[in-house]
Amino acid sequence: MTGIVLACVLVGVLVAVPILLNHAARPAAPLSASFILDPYPPDVGQNVTFVGSASGGVLPYAYAWNFGDGSVGKNQTAVHSFSSYGAFYVELTVTDSSSAKQTASSTQPVMVLSSPAPPKSSPEINMTFTSSYNNTLEPEGYQPATGDTYLVVHLTIYDDGYANFSANPLFSMYVTVGSNTYNVSIADYIFLQYPFPPTNMTNEQSATGDLVFEVPQGTTSFAPSWRLATGEQYTIRWNQT
């Protein structure tokens, strides 16, 4: 009886072997790698989080980072900051756990921006200007009123602070001659290098253009000024060159 059972077991093994041989292991899918980063674009000295991902191959994966500035890292998530501005080519290399060790890489250019200057406790708007007089609005040929001339102010505006500066020459800038105040008029506005200056200038932006005022002939001096909108607080410095 024992011999019969053993024979049956042996027969079962012999029958099963050919069936198992027909199910050969499939090769692993090709390995691929990619990554994302935040924030982008980063500033100099700002911590940037890099998150890698991979598919295919055999788990688990090993992650290796080359940040393009001489620094390296590991793990799926890495945090890095760049000490200088410019373009850096960041490379992620992923290796799987298969016996053949598949490797895949992904490279992206990362543009690192120069850090903005520290904000001032009182943001400054620097106005650098020269001036000239003429009797027509060249090249338009507009003539000033009798007894008047055109004062042309060649102006450069530099925003040295983080606050937005609403630079609207039509409503904001004026000049004082003696006891009288003069604004840019609608007719004279066509002489401007429109759109000058831009509205809502941000930190370290600058703009250059001409502003035109109709003033009395014989004017030799004037005082420029700027009207701030409600709630705006700036130090405006005028520099005549």
Give the pLDDT of the chain (241 residues) as one tens digit per residue: 544 444 434 444 444 444 545 555 677 899 999 999 998 889 888 999 999 999 999 999 999 999 999 999 999 999 999 999 999 999 999 999 999 899 999 999 999 988 766 666 778 899 999 999 988 877 677 888 899 998 988 888 888 887 777 777 667 889 999 999 998 765 555 555 545 666 677 777 888 878 888 899 999 899 999 888 777 778 899 999 9
**Within a domain: residue 136?**
yes
Q: Closest Cα to residue 150, out of 177, 124, 168, 129?
A: 177
Question: Are 164 and 98 within one domain?
Answer: no
Q: Any idea what the CATH number is for the domain that residue 100 is in?
A: 2.60.40.10
**Within a domain: residue 192?**
yes
Q: How many residues does the chain have?
A: 241
The total number of structural domains in the chain stands at 2
**Within a domain: residue 170?**
yes
Contacts of residue 98, Cβ cutoff 8 Å, sequence gap at least 6: 28, 57, 58
Question: Are 144 and 82 within one domain?
Answer: no
**Within a domain: residue 13?**
no
Give the tokens for residue 48: 């940037």
Question: Are 147 and 189 within one domain?
Answer: yes
Give 169-185 as a DSSP string.
HHHHEEEEETTEEEE--
Contacts of residue 22, Cβ cutoff 8 Å, sequence gap at least 6: none
Give pLDDT, residue 126: 92
Q: Any idea what the CATH number is for the domain that residue 231 is in?
A: 2.60.40.4110
Domain end among 48, 82, 112 = 112
Query: What predicted TM-score, i.e. pTM, was given to this entire model?
Result: 0.50
Adjacent-strand bridge partners of 38: 49
Domain encompassing residue 88: 32-112
Give pLDDT, residue 49: 95
**Within a domain: residue 47?**
yes
**Within a domain: residue 185?**
yes
For 191, phi then psi, to 5°, come to -80, -15
- The residue to which tokens 């799987």 are assigned: 96
Question: Are 152 and 181 within one domain?
Answer: yes
Question: Are 101 and 140 within one domain?
Answer: no
Dihedral angle computed from the Cα positions of residues 219, 155, 209 and 184, in that order, rounded to the nearest 10 degrees: -50
C-alpha 98/C-alpha 96 separation (Å) is 6
Q: What is the chain's alpha carbon radius of gyration, rounded to the nearest angstrom?
A: 36
**Within a domain: residue 174?**
yes
**Within a domain: residue 5?**
no
Domain end among 63, 82, 112 = 112
SS3 231: coil
How many helices and strands (H and E) does the chain possess?
2, 14
C-alpha 44/C-alpha 34 separation (Å) is 24
